Structure 1
Amino acid sequence: MKLKSAIAIVAAGALAPAVSVWAQDNPPPLAERTAQSDLPLEGPRGAMQIEHVSLSIAVHPSQRRIEGTGFYRMVPQADLSELQFDLDPRFNVSRVEFDNVELAGSEWRNPDGLLTITLPQPVSANEPVMVSIDFGGMPHEAINPPWEGGFVWSQTEDGQPWIATAVQGEGCDLMWPCIDHSSHRIDTLDLMVTVPDGLVAAGNGRQIGTYANGNGTTTFRWQARDPSNYGVALQIGPYEVARRDYRSSYGNTIPLAFWHLPGNAEGAQRLLGEMADQIAFMEATFGPYPFGDEKAGVVETPHLGMEHQTINAYGNGFRPEAYGHDWLLQHEFAHEWFANQLRNASVNHMWLAEGITTWTQPLYLEHARGRMFYDAEMWKLRQRVWSRVPLVPPEGELPDYNDREAMWGDDIYFKGAWIMHTLRYLVGDGALFPAITRLTYGTSQPVPGEIHPLTRTTDDFRAILEDITAEDLGWFFDAYFHEADLPRLDMRQDGAKVSFEWITPSDLPFQMPLEVRVGGSNRTLMMTGGRGVITLPSADAHFLADPDNRILKYDAAVDAWQNRETEN
């Protein structure tokens, strides 16, 4: 997603695209409800399973306005007399039909972002219904995309419109009537985007057709299966397309495509080559690319990036990097596995998408460049672990991604990645990688064509790991996910005897095995009950605990550096 690290900020600051951004100096604030995603699924909103959405959106760049119609086929999960959708109240709802009958304007209301439609007659559970909603207006403009999201209205160097949406934190209701919750999914999407002639709308899934309307506009039609709500995107510009096919080791052929601005064809083709290498790595490490029946797509955008399903946003400027590959392309593409295939059940478990994805970056470096690159990248990530609040807040508490005091928005990336690094040490590759595969696909042997996204929690991950390892990992998950403070290693020396103890706020003993290097060899203390003792060859013998830095723990030097950085 919107990787807001020191690395990303530097990259964004260095980016100088040929673009001017049309942005309001002080855009009206979002309604309180609209600004929040993952509000409890209560009432009719929590009892609506949407099977299909046909979403038609006409984009008017000169007015910074959209007009849309959403047609929904849904199956109520309970008897309902009302339907409810999330929709930014700055949109005007002009027409609502229920089972092809137009409702009076008095039958719907949306004062606060909860569009409520009173039905002419109640509907029964499991009885399919059809609803269409016409809406339009000037959508919320992103203040700092993609971190503070919305619509981005921009221009290319030669003055052509260049438009994007990035709404992960704020939700799909900034763009269309939807159920704005991480756990909610729709089965199929038919997306039709109408733009002025000369522009191209790159979309999710497969392109079904392009239609010249004869009135100065063109419509692009896309169809996608199982799209994530915030992964549905508008990405519009005077695009050209670079294409190639990738023959997967699983036997299927995956179409690759990069929608880029004119003049960037060479860079787009180079990055498609990098994407092919990344598919090979991800498939060998975790499992098949989940959307090979549609495409692996990328589009150049006027903001840094976002993991829009099968059409990832890319704004990193095609610059060569010392990594040997484009870090942003790799990060967003890995989200196809961890965000678009494996989905967090609520924002509270968002580390599953962001932390595992961030960890794939040093993993890919290890694969492509060697272990030194892995270790160097992990050290970089360690400096951004703050651990001021629990990584998985209690259910019912909605964390704030942009809270710069809590820094939870950093921890879901960097603490999440370091937890995976520590798990790798604790359980080994032979348990951890199969666990990730099962978590992501629901099976240990995923097959292309038989894959559908799964919604998961942190407890699901624990259950899978415990099943594979036959170990109770409650102490690990409690200390790292449900407590704010990192484990501390207390060391006391009495002559040649050194005692070690793990200190955590958890009621459960932290039983992380500890390697201690004495001379040129390592010894492992099992730390039963959170304690261990070692006897040195002599009282002045040098020793080093956790010499390979495999355990996420409190580090006084990092803490002092972070305090100094935040003061400055």
Structure 2
Amino acid sequence: MKAIHFRFFLIAIILITFSNITFADSGGPLKPEQAAYDVTYYYLDLSIDPDNQTIDGSLLCQVTIIDPINILLLDLADVFLVSNVEISINNSDFQQTSYSHQNELLEIDIPEDVNPDDIVSCKIFYNGAPKISQGPPWDAGFVWDTTSDDQHWLGVACQFQGGDIWWPCKDHPSDEPDSMNISFTVPNPLVCVSNGQYLGFEDNGDNTSTYHWFVSVPINNYNVTFYAADFLLIEDDYESTIGNDIPFRFWVLPEDYETAVNYMDVFQQEFDFLEEICGPFPFGTDKHGWAHAPYWGMEHQSIIAYGHNFTTNAWGYDYIHLHELAHEWWGNLLTAKNWADVWIHEGIATYTEALYVEQLSGIESYFNFMRDHQPYPGPSPLAPFEDMTAEDAFNFLDPYSKGASVMHTLRYHLGDDQFFELLKRWAYPDPDDLGNEDGRQCRLVDTEDLKIQAEEVTGVELDPFWSVFYREASFPQLRVNRETEQTSFEWLTEQNVPLDLNVPITINGDEYTVEMVNGYGSIAMSIEDDLEIDPNDWILMQNPEIIVGLDDLSFSERENQLMQNYPNPFSGNTVVEFYLSKSQHAKVCIYDQLGNRLFTLTNKVHIKGKHQISFNKGKLPAGLYYYRLISDEGIITKKLQIID
């Protein structure tokens, strides 16, 4: 199984396995009490005790009031004991206030009336044993690991459940602080690294040291993190595409230091590629940071987790490094304000992998990569309108493969010039501000925002495309009607959207494009010509329904027929033909030799006549299979042979 599919199924397995753990999911509908304020600043100060696997410290939270409220509502896991809360209004002296902590919510009483634009600050003192991850990074929690020489090796990841599994915060993707200070105290000789700029450390004289960090730009709560081990530091400066020096820092375990140093050319090449297609690295003011992590990887802003053992895959790149680094643009610079739009993070990051394969090995390798990441049809649109939790979004939307495949189709629809200009403009809306590397263009967006911006950049009306590929669960399907001297094409969509997506075809090996207007198009060609639809698989769609004119029939029209597929045997695509004697419900399925149904090629009411369905073997191994026409008039079965 290839990388992205493997990761997606691991997510599903882990979510099912640990669904009995009672920690609140991140995201979902924003609570009215939390919509009433905007977080502007956090200061997280924690002592970490790896021997007892506990934390103890405080959080300073500063917010600006939007609507009058009498409580400040934050999220915090119930495993922690809150020992004290202090509050300040409009920079007054801090005073103790009452609070309630239950059901993963921390309600802090505001002792006087507050109005829009008032500033409320609170200090929360808490301690406890945080949730331990059973499968990082997909199952949220702390990682208390050890290195090969039995030194502590620590970390935390919390994308699905959010930052509130270990620190008090407003756990919703629609709000980020403008900046954040972070301090961690750890036992010597551990080095503790985190997001943002390194401000220094102090030895406390009690066999512990405190490390200080400052995040100068907005950051999502699940991206706040730390790593602690007896790290060595690899330092360098990368030159940006716009000529600026970007501090590169990689904290690595001593045992892998030499391997990491020799591997840095891979990091550099992939970094240069992403700057080329996405625009300048967005967090140069803080750092381009990486930490050797006790888990696979995670896109923590300016300090990305790397646990991939310095290896490249069969496509020729380090997919953990490339994918997680791509999130600095797609997820951290540009952040989905609703988890229902998480394709913006995962779909675009996955698609950058395809583009890198194209640069490494050419367009045919790119096409093969996209075929390998073809999504399976699912019950949900890629970007539903509803508010979703992170867990539901990752579990049901297939943001990786489907998100990347829609980007692939969008590239075809717009053409390369407009598409690649759009990719940079999504990251940097102002083309005169590509020199900005201080994160001030960090912004929260949704699917509709990106459509509006795409229309502004390209001048193309994208409502039909967005409606079909982002808002409908089903892939569109082409109905192709082959007559004696003409073939017509019609897009069939879930909501009958008049899709204006042109169709690439070949006729007897020559390339043509069928222009589709209001969902319809046609081309002059003989019914005897060899027609191939979308030979490079640009368009994410169902298998076409091909209807052949009745004057071409050479068999009895009084009964249903299932013809032998052609070519047969086959190694890639084959065509299944069947004839229906009248309009009726018909289903065509592929089965293995044990009778297990593997694919359903069609399952609906068809009109009278001859029909063709293209079938791609996908990942099926070579061997003998069966295909069946199941209709109102009975079942017809034939064999087909797949070869390598």
Q: Normalised by the size of structure 1, how large is the TM-score?
A: 0.89
1:438-453 pair list within 5 angstroms: 438-445=425-432, 446-449=434-437, 451-452=439-440, 453=442
Of 137, 150, 163, 1:159 maps to 150
Q: CA–CA distance in 2 between the matches of 1:531 and 1:476? A: 15
Report which of the two has the higher share of strand.
2
1:246-261 pair list within 5 angstroms: 246-261=238-253
1:553 Cα offset (Å): 0.6
Structure 2 counterpart SS, 1:63: coil
Q: Which amino acid aligns with 1:103?
A: Q
**Aligned equivalent of 1:5:** 4
Distance 1:35 1:449, change over 3 A: same
1:200-279 pair list within 5 angstroms: 200-225=191-216, 226-279=218-271
**Aligned equivalent of 1:35:** 24
CA contact (8 A) 1:437 1:443 kept: no
1:376 Cα offset (Å): 2.0
**Aligned equivalent of 2:421:** 434
Q: CA–CA distance in 1 between the matches of 2:352 and 2:478? A: 28
Q: Which amino acid aligns with 1:254?
A: I
Q: Which amino acid aligns with 1:545?
A: I
1:368-517 pair list within 5 angstroms: 368-382=360-374, 384-398=375-389, 400-401=391-392, 407-408=396-397, 411-445=398-432, 446-449=434-437, 451-452=439-440, 453-517=442-506
CA contact (8 A) 1:84 1:114 kept: yes
Of 552, 558, 561, 2:540 maps to 552
**Aligned equivalent of 2:304:** 312
1:188 Cα offset (Å): 1.1
Q: Which amino acid aligns with 2:132?
A: E
Q: CA–CA distance in 1 between the matches of 2:237 and 2:452? A: 38
Q: CA RMSD in A?
A: 2.7
**Aligned equivalent of 2:54:** 65
CA contact (8 A) 1:510 1:529 kept: yes
1:358 Cα offset (Å): 0.6
CA contact (8 A) 1:299 1:312 kept: yes
Structure 2 counterpart SS, 1:80: coil
1:551 Cα offset (Å): 0.6
**Aligned equivalent of 1:46:** 35
**Aligned equivalent of 2:641:** none
**Aligned equivalent of 1:103:** 96
Q: Which runs of 5+ in 1 are unaligned?
A: 13-25
Q: CA–CA distance in 1 between the matches of 2:19 and 2:509? A: 63
Matched pairs, number: 542
Distance 1:78 1:351, change over 3 A: same
CA contact (8 A) 2:340 2:393 kept: no
Report which of the two has the higher share of helix.
1
Q: CA–CA distance in 2 between the matches of 1:11 and 1:118? A: 42
Distance 1:398 1:231, change over 3 A: closer
CA contact (8 A) 1:95 1:135 kept: yes
Of 87, 103, 110, 1:112 maps to 103
Runs of 4+ in 1 over 6 A off after TM superposition: 9-12, 556-563
Distance 1:442 1:70, change over 3 A: same
**Aligned equivalent of 2:530:** 542
Deviations 1:211-256, CA, capped at 9 Å, x for gaps: 1111111111111122221110121122111121111121210111
**Aligned equivalent of 1:351:** 343
Distance 1:529 1:129, change over 3 A: closer
Q: Which amino acid aligns with 2:128?
A: G
Q: CA–CA distance in 2 between the matches of 1:392 and 1:364? A: 25
Q: CA–CA distance in 2 between the matches of 1:143 and 1:213? A: 33
Within the alignment, does 1:168 sit opposite 2:159 as a pair? yes
**Aligned equivalent of 2:566:** none
Of 121, 128, 132, 2:119 maps to 128
Q: CA–CA distance in 1 between the matches of 2:69 and 2:436? A: 38
Deviations 1:458-504, CA, capped at 9 Å, x for gaps: 11111112223333211111111111110112223233432322111
CA contact (8 A) 2:161 2:391 kept: no
Within the alignment, does 1:532 sit opposite 2:521 as a pair? yes
Distance 1:339 1:45, change over 3 A: same
Deviations 1:318-360, CA, capped at 9 Å, x for gaps: 1243333211100000100000001011101111111111100
CA contact (8 A) 2:281 2:437 kept: no
Q: CA–CA distance in 1 between the matches of 2:480 and 2:8? A: 37
- Larger mean Cα displacement after TM superposition, 391-400 or 439-448: 391-400
Percent same amino acid at aligned positions? 31
1:519 Cα offset (Å): 2.0
CA contact (8 A) 2:299 2:328 kept: yes
Q: Which amino acid aligns with 1:208?
A: L
Deviations 1:171-192, CA, capped at 9 Å, x for gaps: 0101211111111110111110
CA contact (8 A) 2:188 2:208 kept: yes
Work out which of the two has the higher radius of gyration on C-alpha atoms and give 1 or 2: 2
Q: Normalised by the size of structure 2, how large is the TM-score?
A: 0.79
CA contact (8 A) 1:441 1:454 kept: no
CA contact (8 A) 1:252 1:448 kept: no
**Aligned equivalent of 2:171:** 180
Deviations 1:255-290, CA, capped at 9 Å, x for gaps: 111111112113322443222222322222121100
Q: Which runs of 5+ in 2 are unaligned?
A: 12-16, 545-572, 575-588, 600-618, 621-644
Distance 1:222 1:133, change over 3 A: same
Q: Which amino acid aligns with 1:522?
A: E
1:397 Cα offset (Å): 4.7
Deviations 1:387-412, CA, capped at 9 Å, x for gaps: 321111222354744876xx42xx21
Q: CA–CA distance in 2 between the matches of 1:338 and 1:403? A: 16
CA contact (8 A) 1:141 1:150 kept: yes
Distance 1:451 1:64, change over 3 A: closer
1:30 Cα offset (Å): 4.3
Q: Which amino acid aligns with 1:266?
A: E
